[in-house]
């Protein structure tokens, strides 16, 4: 990563560290929509996503001094959002272990099918929680299976198999519509 990318909001962050509410508001406006969408994709609940978003920004600004420019501000905030979402799910005791009734199928040659983006996201919302979370973290947010296993407290192989099953279930859902 280029150092320029890491320091992209350095002046705003420095102002936030001084308690400048206008700078906080600017950072909030810059990132709130993307972070809300991330929280919503993981939680599949608008009110919970809004709550997590607010909690994350409060925590972010309260702990802004701990931001060390080792990553972009967005990546740092994204990690806070993901952790808050996972903690929220664990608090609600949502079972992240998913049903093993669907056979794990590996296709040697997958045919390319194009679907409308809205249809894909609506179908993702209908996936069981564990499938949706792993699919979102891996496919949309770019986490690898090692990171997902650490975040969710599952084995790497469980993450991989659940991702494979989530893709298959999503593919089946999309082909039926």
pTM for the whole thing? 0.68
Classify domain 3-91 at the CATH class level.
mainly alpha
- Give yes or no for residue 67 having a pLDDT over 60: yes
Joined together, the tokens standing for residue 111 give 């045919």
Domain pair 3-91 / 117-176, same fold: no
- The CATH number that domain 117-176 falls under is 1.10.10.10
Spatial separation of the C-alpha atoms in residues 6 and 9, rounded to whole Å: 8
Centre a 10 Å sphere on the Cβ of residue 24 and count the other Cβ atoms it contains. 18
For residue range 95-115, what is the model confidence (pLDDT) as tens digits?
Answer: 554 444 433 333 334 444 555
Q: Is pLDDT of 177 > 70?
A: no
- Whether the per-residue pLDDT at 120 is higher than 80: the answer is yes
Three-state DSSP class for residue 177: coil
In 44-94, which residue ranges form alpha helices assigned H by DSSP?
46-62, 73-91
Residue 106 has what pLDDT?
37
The ranges assigned to domains in the chain are 3-91, 117-176
């Amino acid at each position: 990563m280029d150092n320029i990318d890491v320091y992209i909001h350095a002046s705003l962050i420095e102002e936030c560290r001084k308690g400048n509410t206008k700078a906080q508001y600017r950072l909030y406006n810059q990132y709130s929509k993307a972070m809300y969408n991330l929280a919503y994709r993981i939680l599949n609940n608008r009110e919970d996503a809004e709550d997590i978003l607010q909690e994350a920004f409060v925590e972010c600004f309260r702990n802004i001094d701990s931001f060390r420019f080792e990553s972009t501000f967005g990546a740092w905030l994204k990690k806070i959002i993901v952790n808050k979402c996972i903690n929220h799910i664990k608090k609600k005791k949502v079972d992240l272990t998913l049903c093993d009734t669907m056979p794990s199928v590996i296709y040697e040659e997958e045919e390319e099918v194009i679907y409308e983006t809205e249809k894909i996201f609506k179908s993702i919302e209908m996936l069981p929680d564990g499938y949706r979370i792993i699919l979102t973290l891996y496919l949309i947010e770019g986490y690898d299976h090692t990171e997902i296993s650490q975040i969710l407290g599952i084995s790497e192989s469980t993450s991989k198999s659940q991702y494979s099953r989530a893709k298959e279930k999503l593919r089946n859902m999309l082909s039926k519509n």
